Structure 1
Amino acid sequence: MNKIKQSIEKLLDKHRILIWYDAEQAFTKEYEGLELSNAQKVQVEGNELEVKVQVLLEEPGQQFLLYIPKEKPENKENWLLDVELAHHVYHTDQEALYLQEVGLGYHYKEWMSKHLEFFKNKERVAAFKEIAQEEDGDHLLSLKLLQVVFQAKMLSLNEYLRNYASAFVNEKHESIERELERFKLKDIFWHEVAKKFGYTHEEPSIYDFLLEVFQKNFSPTASSSVVNKESEVMISTWKDTLSFQDDFQAISNRIQFDLHIEDILNDVSLDEVIDDDLFELIDQRIISELIRGILDDSVDRQRLEAVIKERESKYWFSRYEAFYNALTVGFNLLEAVNDTEQLVISHFDEGVERYTSEWYKIDQYYRIFIEQYRATNQNNVLNPLYKEVNKAYSNNWLLNISDAWQRTLDETEGWPVSNNAQTSFFKRDVKPFINKNTRLFVIISDALRYECGVSLHELMQKENRFDSSLDHQVTSLPSYTKLGMAFLLPHNKLSFDESDDILIDGDSTKGSRQREKVLKSHSGVDATVIDAEDMMKMASKSDEARELVTSHDLIYVYHNRIDKLGDDKSSEEKVIGAAKDEISFLVDLVKKATNMGGYNIIVTADHGFIYQNDVLEESDFADAEVSGDIIKTNRRFVLGNNLAHNESVFKYDSSEVGIEGDIEILIPKGINRLRVQGAGSRFVHGGATLQETIVPLIHIKKKREDTVEKVDVDVLNKRNNKISTNIQRVSFYQHEPTSEKILGRTLKVQFKSESGETLSDVMTYTFDSDSKNAKDREYEYKFRLSSKAKNEYKNETIYLTLEEQVEGSNKWIEYDRFPYTVNISFTNDFDDF
C-alpha cells in the first residue's frame, strides 16, 4: 500500500490527472483505503462523460486520480482517450511500479522486464534514479545499470574496467560477476568491451582481459595480444589515477609473474624496453644492466644520463629513484676519483682553493651515495657498485688526498692564518653588520662540513626571495667543537684552562650560557644565544619571537645533530642520515629566522669530519707511542705538555694555531686514527685534513623581490593543429637552460575536451635541461588519441593541456593549453595494419 501511495503521489507531482485501470479489481481495497493530500479520487463506472466534464471544465485546476475497475477499452470506444493522451496512465504491474519509482515511462516495460532483478534493492534503485533520464533509450540505460554495478562516478567503460580490476585484485570480483549474470548485463558489458578494445572470448573474464591488455602494452609481447591500441590510453589513465595506484601495482606484479616477464626480459636488449613501464621488473633489469656497464666501463656519462632521463617520467621511477640516484652519484664519484690519481698540492692555499672549488664534490658524492644506498635498504643489486665506490673513496681518494695534503703540511711552517681563517670570523663577517646597525642571525651547525654547506647553499638558491652566497673558512687545530665554537665568538686572545676548555680573555666558553656571556661582553651590541630546536618551537609572530628579535641585534643559534650522532660509537653510522636531515632542518631554520624578522643570516660550522662507511682496517689505526703530561686524547688529536711521540703524528705548539700558552698538540698524519678505548672510528674529526678543517661560510639574505623562476615551456608545432591520425606527434621546447635561479618545470600533458575529459594517453615530463644548445632542450612525444576523440569530437576542438602540480599537494592546475581540431580518417581504424 505504501509503495502504491508513494508512486501515485510522485506521479501527481508531474501530472494533474492519473488514470488507473484495474481489470481484475485486484487493487479495489487499496484504492478505497488510499488517502491523497492534494488529489481527488474519482471512481469511473459508466459515468465517463460526467467525469470528463468535471475534470476538464468544472475543476480544471484540481488534481485527480481516476480509478476504473475494468479493462482498458479500445481507443474508438474510449470516452477518456483524450484525457489519457494529455495526462498519464498509472500501472500497477511490477515493471510499472519500478519505472514510476525511477521516473521512466511505461514504454520501457520490456527493457525493465529484462533487468527486473536489479531493481529489487533500494540502494541500487536510488543510485540509478540519480543518473537515469527519460530520453536515454534502452542501451544507454543499460550502461547506466552497469555504472551502478561497478560503482563508477561517471558513465565510462574505462572506469568500469578499472573498478572491476580493483575488485579482482582485492578478491571481490565474484559479487560483481554474480550481479552481471542476475541483472542480465554480462553480455551487454562484454559486448562494449569487444567493441572498444577488440577483446572477445567464449568465456570472457576480467583477468583474461587484463592479461591481454598488459601483453599489448609491453613491447616484446605486443603482437601476441588480441586487444587493440585503444588499451594504451586506458592503461595510461589508470596509471595516472591516484586512488588506483596500489591496485595497479598489485595487478602488474601478478601479471609479470604469470606472463614470465623476467624470462622475457632476459632475452631482450635494454633498448627494446627502455620506453616500457608496465612492470617493475623493467626498472630492475635496467638498473642491473647500468650497474654492470658502470663497473666494466661500457656505459659512459651520456648514456647513463639519457637512460635515467628516459626512466624519470615512467610509472615505477619513484620506487626506484634511490637506485638511479645511487647510480648517478656512484658514477660521478668513480669518474672524479679517477681524474685525481696524481695529486700534487704545491702549497697550503692551493689545497684549500682546489678543495673548495672541485675536490669537495668527491666527499659529497660519497655521502649522497651512502644515503641513497641506504634508502634502497642496501639492496643486493647495488653491492658490487657499493664495494667499488667504497674502495675508490677510501683507498684512492681519502688516502691520496690526505697523503698529498700531509706532504704540504710537512713543508709548511706552523698552521697558516689566512683571510679565510676561522679566527677572523667575527671581525671579518659579523662586525660589518654591527657597524651598520643591521640585525644578524648567526647559525652554527656542529660538524657541518664544507660539502654539506654546498648542498645547503644550493637549496637556498632555489628558494624564492632568498639570496645565498657561498664561501669557506679554515678552522684552527685541533678541529673540534670547543675550539671551533670559541673561534666563532668575538675575542682578543684564546687560551686553554687546566683542561681542554677554551677561555676568551680569561672567560670560559664552555656551553651556551658561557658563550652568551662572552658574546654580550665582547660584541658591543645586544646579543644572545639560543638553541635551534627552541627557536623552531616558537610561533613566528608570537610575543616570545618578537621579544627575541626586537631586543637583540645579534643572535647566535646553535644546533648539534651531526656531531652528536657521529661522536657516539653506537650511532656513528647514522651520521649520513643526520647530515641529510640537518641540511633540510637548516633550510627551515633560515625560513624561521626570516619569518621572525631576521633578514640577514650567516650559516657556518665549528669543524668538519671524515666518515668512512665500512669498518676500518687495522692499518687505519696508528700507535703514536705518546707519553708525557696528557690532558686529552682523541682519535684525531692529543693535548698535553712535554709530549713524546713517534713519526705517526706531527706536533704544533698552541701558539702556532692561535692559542696562547704552552700546550702541545699532536695530530695523526693523513687520515690515521689513534687507538682510544671505546671511541668510534668511522666518524672522526680533530685532525688536519681538508675535510675536517674546511667549513662552509654562507651569507643568506631575504629579498623583497622574486629571485627564482621556472623555465618556460612551449609547443613548437602548435600551428599544425589538425589531428588526422590516432597518433599525434607534439614537440615541446624549453625556452632557457636551467641554472641556480632558473629551475626546471614538471608538466603533465594530455589531450582533453572542453569539459576536461581525457582523450589521450598522459605524459609527465620534467623540463630541466641545462644545455645552452636550443636543440637539446626540445622533446617530442607521440600521443595516442582515444577512439572517443575520433568518434565524438570529429571536426570539433579539443585541447592539448599542460598542467603543473601544486607544491605539497596532489592537485594539478593548468599551465597552458593549445587547441587542436580532430579529423581522423576511418583508415586509422585498421589498427594493426
Structure 2
Amino acid sequence: MSKIKQSIESLLQKHRILLWYDAEKAFTEEYEALELSDTKKLTVNGNEFETKVRVLHQEPKQKFLLYLPKEKPKNEENWLLDIELAHHVYHTDQEALYLQEVGLGYHYKKWISEHIDFFKNKERVAAFKEIAQEEDGDHQLSLKLIQVVFGADILSFDLFLRNFASAFIQGQEESVKRELERFNLSDLFWQEVSKKYGYAHDQPTIYDFLLEAFQKNFSPLSSHSVVNRETGVMLSTWKDTLSFQEDFKTISRQIQNDLKIEETLNHTSIEEIVDDDLFELIDQRIISELIRGILDESVDQQRLETVIKKRESKYWYDRYVHFYRALRIGFNLLETIREAGDINIPSFEEGIEAYASTWYQIDQDYRVFIEHYRETNQNSVLNPLYSEVNKAYSNNWLLKLSDSWQNVLDEQDGWVNHQRSQSKFFRHNVKPFLQKKTRLFVIISDALRYECGVSFQQLMQKENRFESDIEYQIAPVPSYTQLGMASLLPHKTLSFGNGDSILVDGKSTMGLSARSKILQANTDVDATAVLAEDLMKMASKSDEARDLVKKHDLIYVYHNRIDKLGDDKSSEEKVIDGARDEIEFLIDLIKKVTNMGGYNMIVTADHGFIYQNDPIEESDFADADVEGDVVKANRRFVLGRNLSYKDNVMAFDCNELGIEGDLQVLIPKSINRLRVHGAGSRFVHGGATLQELITPVIKVKKKREDTIKQVDVDVLNKRNNKISTNIQRVSFYQLQPVEEQTLSRTLKIQFKSEDGESLSDLFTYTFDSDAENSKEREVMHQFQLSSKASDKYKNQEVYLVLEEQVEGSNKWREYNKYPYEIRITFTNDFDDF
C-alpha cells in the first residue's frame, strides 16, 4: 500500500469529504489508480456547483475524495470553501503526509518541518502517534518527540535523564546526542533541563550534568555545584528504580573516582556524611571510623547504634549490611566480656542457671559475629576487630569461664544427677503429651547447642500462629552423639555396648530402625523414627505423609548437619554456616510438620560444642599420657580399661555417670584438647564445659489464631498539613515497642499526587525501636519537594503515602496516607545561593 493511499484511508476514517488540490497535476496517475472501497472519487474542474449539490444534498452520507487539478483559489473566489471548512483538505507535500499520518492539522507544517528527519522512521512515527494530541501545541509536541527519542512511557525529564545516563554507561551517549541534534531537539532538551534543574553549560553533556547533580547532593561538596535541590528528588527516584540499580552503581563509582571523593572523605567527619548515600565510599569511611572507635573505646553504644540506624535506610546498606552487623555484635560482645570481669561460679546449680539465662549470649554473639565476618569475605578492614573479638572470646571469656566451671566440677563428689538431666527428657517432656493422647513430634538436631536453640526459638516467635518456649537440659558426659541420642529415648538403663556404642535396656540404639524399635517397645503408643531429610521429601498431603501422622502418636525426627560438619577436620570451619543453615532448616521442618497435621513439637539436641575460629594454641592441648586398654579416644574424652593418666583430666567410672559397664571415662579439664592424630581441634565436644553440656528443649505449638503483629506507625501533627516551603519536616511515631511477638515494620514514604506521581524524595525506614519511652520511638525526616509540587499541584491536595513491601515480592502496597495542601509561595522557587 502506497503512503498516499494509506494516509487518505486514515483521514477518511475521521472525515467524510477530502479535497485534494494538485496544481502541477503531479499526482494524477496516483489519483486515477486509487481504489477506495467505500469512497467515491470525483474530479472537480469547473463543475464546482454540481459537485456541491451532489456531495451535500444528493448523497449526504457518502464519503468522497474530491480531486482538484489546479491551484487552491482565494477564499473569496472559492466555491467549495464551506466544504473545506467543514471537512478536510488533503495535502501531498512531505510535511503534510507526515502530519496526516500522525493525525495532526496542517497548521503544524512549520513545526514539523523543523523536525522532519524524526518522521523518516516508522517505529518513531508509530510511537509518536500514540502520544501526540492535536491540542498540544508546538512546545508540547517537541517534548513528546524527546519522549520518543528516550523511549519513555511518560513525559518526564527525570526519566529522560535517567535513560540518557543509562545510554552513557552503555556507551551509547553519542547515538542519543546525534538523534537530538539531527531532529533539532538538543537545544530544547538542555533548555528544559536548565529550567528544571538549574544546569547551564556552553557545551552541555549528560555526564557533566551527572557530576553536578551528585556533587550538589553530597554534603561536603554541595556548595560547589551550580544545579538546584531538585536534583536530590531526581536521584532519590533513581535509587528506588529497580531496573536502574546496576547503572546507578556504575555511575556512582565513576563519579566518586572523578570527583576524588576518597580524598574529600579523608578530611570529613562521620557527622557530616552520615545522612549521605550517593557514594559507596561513604559507607566504607563510616565503617572504618567505627572500627577504630570500637577498638580504642572512643565510641559508645548510643553513638554506634545511632550511626548504624541511620545507615540502614541508605542506598548502599544492603551491600555493607554484614559489615555493620559485625560491628554491632562485635561491640556488644567486647562490652559484655569487659563487664563480666573475673568470673566466679559459686556452685554447679548457679553456673548452669547463669549460663542458660545470660552467659550463652556471648557464645551466640561470637558465632553470629564470625558468620557476618565471613559474609564480608573476611574483608581486611574487619581484621583488627576480628582479632580483638577472637582474642577476647578465647582468652577472656571461654578460657576463664571454663576454668571457673572446672573449679566447681573439681569440688563435686562424682557427677551430678541433676533434675534436668537429659536422661529424664522422655519422662519430663514427652510422657505428659502421650498421657493426654496428644500427638507429638520430637525433633533432635545433632549438636544444636543451647545458644543455637535460643536463636531458633527467637525466630519461631516471629512466625505467625506459632507459640514456643525454651528450657534447658544437661547432656550426660561424655557429651557425644551415641550417649546423648540414647539418653533421649525412653529407657530404664543405659550401658556400653561394643566400643563407644550405647545400649538402651540392653538393645542397640545405632541406626533409625533400632531407635524405632525402642520407641515402639518402651512406650504405650504407636511410635516411630524418621530422618528429617526423608520427611521433607514427602508431599504434605500425600498418602505417605498422611499415614505417618495418622498411624503414629509419637514421631522422633533426626537431623545431623552441625555435628557432621564439625566432626570432620576438613569441614569443621563450616560449622558456623552449618549452625545458621540448621536453624533455618528447623523452621522449615516445623512448618512441614504442621502442614502434615502435626501441631505439637519439641526440638532438642544430644549435646553442644565448643568452637574457636582461629587455630588452637599449643597451650590448649593436654598431654594426659593416657595408657592402657583404650577403647575410644578423641579430643575431649577417652574410654577404656585399666587406664593410667595425669591429673589434667577428670576420671570417672561409667557407673558414676549413670551408665552400666566396666569402662573408665577420662575428660580433659576446662577447654583443653587431647592430642589425637588427624582429629579436628576448633570444633570439639565430649567434655564437660557449659557449652558442651547445656542443650535446648524448645516446645513449639501451632495455633489457630494469629500470634504476631507488626508495630503501628502514625504521623505526628497531622492537622498541620499545609506545605508552605519546598522543605517539609514530618515526624513519625512508632506506637508500640518491638517485643517478642510485636515485630518491626519497614515503610517507604514520600509525597505523591492523587494519580500517584512522585513529588518528593523517598524516605525508607524500619521502625524497630524496643524503647519503652514513647519519645524515643519518634523519628523525623526532612522531605525535599519537587518543583512539580509548587507548580503543577499548587493549591491542590497531595498525599504523604506510606507503603510497605508485599512479602516475598518487589511490590509495595499502601499502608496509610495523609492529605496535605500545597501552599508554596514564589520565594521558595529560589535555590540556596
Q: TM-score with structure 2 length normalisation?
A: 0.99
Distance 1:525 1:748 in 2: 54
**Which residue does 1:272 correspond to in 2?**
272
Measured after TM superposition, the shift of residue 517 of structure 1 is: 1.1
* Letter of the 2:233 counterpart: V
SS of aligned partner of 2:816: strand
Distance 1:498 1:714 in 2: 67
Q: Does residue 1:256 correspond to 2:256, yes or no? A: yes
SS of aligned partner of 1:397: helix
**Which residue does 1:635 correspond to in 2?**
635
1:341/1:400 contact within 8 Å kept: no
Q: Does residue 1:770 correspond to 2:774, yes or no? A: no
Distance 2:127 2:686 in 1: 73
Measured after TM superposition, the shift of residue 648 of structure 1 is: 1.5
**Which residue does 1:41 correspond to in 2?**
41
Q: Does residue 1:598 correspond to 2:598, yes or no? A: yes
SS of aligned partner of 2:335: helix
SS of aligned partner of 2:377: coil
* Letter of the 1:737 counterpart: P
Q: Any idea what the Cα deviations from partners look like across 1:112-147, whole Å, max 9, x if unmatched?
A: 101110111111111111111111111111111111
**Which residue does 2:509 correspond to in 1?**
509
* Letter of the 2:342 counterpart: Q
* Letter of the 2:645 counterpart: H
**Which residue does 1:411 correspond to in 2?**
411
**Which residue does 1:89 correspond to in 2?**
89
Measured after TM superposition, the shift of residue 5 of structure 1 is: 0.5
Distance 1:186 1:504 in 2: 87
SS of aligned partner of 1:428: helix
**Which residue does 1:394 correspond to in 2?**
394
SS of aligned partner of 2:297: coil
Distance 2:233 2:540 in 1: 48
**Which residue does 2:210 correspond to in 1?**
210
Q: Any idea what the Cα deviations from partners look like across 1:164-221, whole Å, max 9, x if unmatched?
A: 0011111111111110011101001000000001100000000000000000000000
SS of aligned partner of 2:109: helix
**Which residue does 2:308 correspond to in 1?**
308
Q: Any idea what the Cα deviations from partners look like across 1:487-529, whole Å, max 9, x if unmatched?
A: 0000000100132111011110011111111111112211111
Distance 2:781 2:604 in 1: 46
Distance 2:645 2:459 in 1: 45
Correspondence list, 1:569-608, <5 A: 569-608=569-608
SS of aligned partner of 1:523: coil
* Letter of the 1:483 counterpart: L
Q: Does residue 1:15 correspond to 2:15, yes or no? A: yes
Correspondence list, 1:96-495, <5 A: 96-495=96-495
* Letter of the 1:157 counterpart: F
Correspondence list, 1:733-812, <5 A: 733-812=733-812
Q: Any idea what the Cα deviations from partners look like across 1:331-351, whole Å, max 9, x if unmatched?
A: 111111112221111111111
SS of aligned partner of 1:332: helix
Distance 2:42 2:200 in 1: 57
**Which residue does 2:6 correspond to in 1?**
6
Q: Any idea what the Cα deviations from partners look like across 1:21-80, whole Å, max 9, x if unmatched?
A: 001100000000000011000000100000000000000010000000011000111110
Distance 2:242 2:498 in 1: 65
* Letter of the 2:185 counterpart: L
Distance 1:649 1:60 in 2: 116
* Letter of the 2:717 counterpart: N
Measured after TM superposition, the shift of residue 252 of structure 1 is: 0.4
SS of aligned partner of 2:73: coil
Measured after TM superposition, the shift of residue 163 of structure 1 is: 0.6
**Which residue does 1:53 correspond to in 2?**
53
Q: Any idea what the Cα deviations from partners look like across 1:420-479, whole Å, max 9, x if unmatched?
A: 110000010000010011000111000000000000000000111100101111000110
SS of aligned partner of 2:772: coil
Distance 1:94 1:263 in 2: 58
Q: Does residue 1:618 correspond to 2:614, yes or no? A: no
Measured after TM superposition, the shift of residue 627 of structure 1 is: 1.0
* Letter of the 1:657 counterpart: L
Correspondence list, 1:665-704, <5 A: 665-704=665-704
**Which residue does 2:661 correspond to in 1?**
661
Measured after TM superposition, the shift of residue 329 of structure 1 is: 0.7
SS of aligned partner of 2:701: strand
1:22/1:69 contact within 8 Å kept: yes
Distance 1:547 1:152 in 2: 58
1:746/1:767 contact within 8 Å kept: yes
**Which residue does 2:818 correspond to in 1?**
818
SS of aligned partner of 1:462: coil
Q: Any idea what the Cα deviations from partners look like across 1:652-696, whole Å, max 9, x if unmatched?
A: 111121111221100000111111111111100000000011111
Q: Does residue 1:609 correspond to 2:605, yes or no? A: no
SS of aligned partner of 1:747: strand
Q: Any idea what the Cα deviations from partners look like across 1:565-605, whole Å, max 9, x if unmatched?
A: 11000010001000010001111111111111110000000
* Letter of the 1:802 counterpart: L
1:415/1:476 contact within 8 Å kept: no
Distance 1:164 1:772 in 2: 49
Distance 2:337 2:137 in 1: 74
Q: Any idea what the Cα deviations from partners look like across 1:252-304, whole Å, max 9, x if unmatched?
A: 00000000000000011110111111100000000000000000000011111
Structure 1 residue runs of 4+, over 6 Å off? Answer: none
Correspondence list, 1:72-83, <5 A: 72-83=72-83
* Letter of the 1:638 counterpart: V
* Letter of the 1:34 counterpart: L
Q: Identity across aligned pairs (percent)? A: 70
Measured after TM superposition, the shift of residue 416 of structure 1 is: 1.1
Q: Any idea what the Cα deviations from partners look like across 1:772-805, whole Å, max 9, x if unmatched?
A: 1111001111111100010011111000000000
CA RMSD of aligned residues (A): 0.7
Distance 2:581 2:140 in 1: 57
1:42/1:65 contact within 8 Å kept: yes
Distance 2:416 2:168 in 1: 72
Measured after TM superposition, the shift of residue 419 of structure 1 is: 2.1
1:18/1:65 contact within 8 Å kept: yes
Q: Any idea what the Cα deviations from partners look like across 1:352-397, whole Å, max 9, x if unmatched?
A: 1000111101101110010000000000100000000000011111
Measured after TM superposition, the shift of residue 628 of structure 1 is: 1.3
SS of aligned partner of 1:646: coil
Distance 1:199 1:669 in 2: 74
1:751/1:760 contact within 8 Å kept: yes
SS of aligned partner of 2:732: strand
Q: Which region of structure 1 is more displaced relative to structure 2, 20-29 or 653-662?
A: 653-662
Distance 1:830 1:184 in 2: 31
Distance 1:523 1:152 in 2: 71
SS of aligned partner of 1:203: coil
1:95/1:112 contact within 8 Å kept: yes
Distance 1:461 1:653 in 2: 42
Q: Does residue 1:532 correspond to 2:532, yes or no? A: yes
* Letter of the 1:803 counterpart: E
Distance 2:718 2:81 in 1: 63
Q: Any idea what the Cα deviations from partners look like across 1:385-421, whole Å, max 9, x if unmatched?
A: 0000000011111110110000000001222122211
Q: TM-score with structure 1 length normalisation?
A: 0.99
